[in-house]
Amino acid sequence: MSNIGKIIRVNALPPIGERETNVIYQVAEPGGATYTDYAIDVNGDLKTHAVVEGSIPVELSDKHVSISNPDLIAEGIASQADYNANTRERLTLKLDIPSVDGNAQDYPKIIGLNDNGEVAKLPAGDLGKNVANSSLTTVAGAGLTLGANWTLNTFGLYYSITGLSDVSNDSTFNTFLSQNASGRVGKTNGKQPFLSLPTTLSTAEKTAWKTAMNGGWTTATMSVASISPPIVDRANKPTWITLKGANLNLPPTSFKIELCTESSTDLNPVVVAEIPASQVQLYDNGIDLSFWFNFSTIAEGKYKIRLWNGVAYYLTGANTMLQIVNSIVPSIPPLTWTYAEYTPGSNTMIGGNSSVTYNSNPANKAYQGNDLTTVSAGKSSELFGEDDNFYLRIGINITNVQSGADNNTPFVIGLCNNADAVALSDLSVIKGRGSINYRGGGISIFPDLSSQGVTFWGIYTGEMQIIRNNGLFTISVTMNNTTRIYTKSAPVIALSLFAMIGNSPSATSASFNILEQYKF
């Protein structure tokens, strides 16, 4: 039996695969007693349902299509015509897809959206102004090209660039960023910052920088106050030479010691010989520098010594030269002595050709603590003529010191004017001055009037060197490998050996011995 024309009432139109064909479905309106007719053809497709106005069929139009969606009905959209009109109104508010390029001047607005989905027009010129409060990642081809001068003002806040690769060993990275006083940044090869560095650093910072650049060894200005001995012979043997001065702690990996002619200058040095590094003894105290050399092949004459500390050269001057002679004959003349004592005839001091000794005697003056009275003095006959340049080395030895009350017994060993008569007063023109400590034990020695001396507890021996060279005295005192140096002008007078000592709290002995003496 054919289904054509069959009418089927349902609450909802079945899906395409479940519909009967050649029938009319009457779909009930939700909540009402009316139905909408839907004709289904032989293929199961939906055909336009019949529409009539009264009893007259008419062509289907938008107004005949009813709207059943409650949300649309609530907005006043009850038919397809109402829906179409509302859609057109909304479409007029939509943006066209851009088809041309523009700029912020010609197109000054952009669209902004808030959290509620509402939109507003925003100034296009503000786009990117808050890039600094964003976490950004670049993409290939991205960058920034300035079209005008541009300033970044940190207002004193930290400005950091982190995560850069280390190019310390890449020779192609040889340009620095630099800034002028107004804050403008540019690139430089480093010349101007480097040239301004000396005026930027303090004296202490300059010294520290030079020292660090020299491997931690000082680069302060070197000086040589004395050469000991100042005269050597041409014997075929090694001879040790000791320089004393300041900043002589040469770096062990970069130094030179050279023998130069007397006429050499800083600008025109004439090097006669270079001392092999293996023959040099370096010290880190900055005062001492020693080397040995066989002078048998060096011609007689006076020679300057040139030092290189890895940064600068230093050439000794006219008063600090080394004299080389065929042979040296020590010439200590027979010496006679005169004495002065607190109690004459106490025989506390005895002098010889190369020494003078002291032995305390309470008969001269009773032992007493804190008594600095000079109790004994001795003066030799002439040791050096008024025109003599000389080198003199004297050993100092304090013995038989017994503990007693606090006392710093003074003593002096040096040279005085040969024309002066001996007395219980300091006649010296150049001296080593010392004191003996009886409670802690030990002695102090100072070079002439210098405030810098050497002091060691429990040590009672030391040395003193005096050089007179062309009107200049250089004196050094040494104890326990520590040296202090002092220089002063030397009078043109004949000189005698002179010694004096003060009272002590207990028995005391002292000896002062000539160890070396040369004229040159």
pLDDT digits (tens, 9 = 90+) for 402-412: 666 666 889 99
Give residue 124's region: left, alpha or beta (phi > 0; psi -120 to 50): alpha
Highest mean pLDDT among 81-90, 107-116, 207-216: 107-116
DSSP helix/strand/coil, 196: helix
pLDDT value of residue 55: 45
One domain for residues 366 and 457: yes
Residues 277 and 418 in one domain: no
CATH of the domain at 285: 2.60.40.10
More confident residue, 211 or 113: 113
Residues 320 and 204 in one domain: no
Q: Which residue has the higher pLDDT, 367 or 45?
A: 367
Looking at per-residue pLDDT, the higher value among 113 and 243 belongs to 243
- The CA-CA-CA angle for residues 42, 48, 49, to 5°, reads 100
Looking at the structure, do residues 359 and 507 belong to the same domain, yes or no? yes
**2 within a domain of the structure (yes/no):** no
Confidence of residue 3 (pLDDT cuts 50, 70, 90): low
Domain assignment of residue 314, yes or no:
yes
- The tokens of 374 are what? 């000079």
**Residue 291, CA atoms < 13 Å, CB-side half-sphere:** 23
Q: How far apart are CA 123 and CA 197, in angstroms?
A: 50
Sign of the C-alpha dihedral, residues 116, 119, 120, 121?
Answer: positive
Q: How far apart are CA 479 and CA 475, in angstroms?
A: 14
Task: Evaluate whether 260 touches 315 at the Cβ level (below 8 Å).
Answer: yes
pTM of the model: 0.56
Question: What are 21-65's pLDDT values in tens digits?
Answer: 888 888 887 777 777 777 777 777 766 554 555 544 444 455 545
* DSSP code at position 75: T
The DSSP line for 165-181 is ---TT-TT---EEEE-T
Domains in the chain, number: 4
| pLDDT for position 57 | 46
Domain boundary residue among 152, 187, 214?
214
- 365 is a domain residue: yes
In a domain, 355, yes or no: yes
Same domain assignment for residues 445 and 387: yes
**Does the structure show a pLDDT above 60 at 335?**
yes
pLDDT in tens, 261-274: 999 999 999 999 99
Residue 294: DSSP 8-state: E
User: Which of the listed residues 268, 297, 325 is the one where a domain comes to its end?
Assistant: 325
192 pLDDT above the threshold of 90: no
> Which tens digit of pLDDT belongs to each residue from 416-465?
999 999 999 999 999 999 998 887 778 899 999 999 898 887 788 999 99
Is residue 391 in some structural domain? yes
- Please give the average per-residue pLDDT across 107-119, as a whole number: 85
Residue 354 and residue 256 share a domain: no
Q: Is residue 407 located within the same domain as residue 301?
A: no
Say what the pLDDT of residue 11 is. 83
Q: Using alpha carbons only, give the angle 331, 335, 336 rounded to the nearest 5 degrees.
A: 170
199 and 242 co-located in one domain: no
Q: Is the pLDDT of residue 365 over 70?
A: yes
In a domain, 311, yes or no: yes
DSSP state of 300: S
Alpha helices in 61-114 (DSSP H): 70-74, 80-91
* Listed residue (238, 252, 236, 328) closest to 289, CA to CA: 252
Which DSSP string corresponds to 40-61?
A: E-TTS-EEPPP-EETTEE----
> Which of 162-166, 213-217, 423-427 is predicted most confidently?
423-427
Q: Which of 325, 353, 371 is the last residue of a domain?
A: 325
Reduced to 3 states (helix: H, G, I; strand: E, B; else coil), residue 72 is helix
Q: Which of 9-13, 125-129, 443-447, 480-484 has the highest mean pLDDT?
A: 443-447
If one compares 286 and 298, the residue with the highest pLDDT of the two is 298
Both 245 and 293 in a single domain? Answer: yes
Which domain does 192 fall in, by range? Answer: 177-214
Question: 312 and 286, same structural domain?
Answer: yes
Do 504 and 393 have their domain in common?
yes
* CA distance linking residue 479 with residue 108, whole number of Å: 90
Residues 366 and 444 grouped into a single domain: yes
Is 422 domain-assigned?
A: yes
pLDDT score recorded for residue 357 = 96
Q: Which residues partner with 15 through β-bridges?
A: none
Are 49 and 37 in contact, with CB atoms under 8 Å apart? yes
CA dist 475 and 391 (Å) reads: 10
**What's the mean pLDDT in 135-152?**
85
Mean predicted lDDT score pLDDT of the chain: 85
- Identity of residue 110: I
Task: Select from 348, 397, 398, 392 the least CA-distant residue to 374.
Answer: 348
Query: Which CATH number belongs to the domain containing residue 422 in this structure?
Result: 2.60.120
**461 contacts 477 by C-beta, under 8 angstroms:** no
* 104 domain residue, yes or no: no
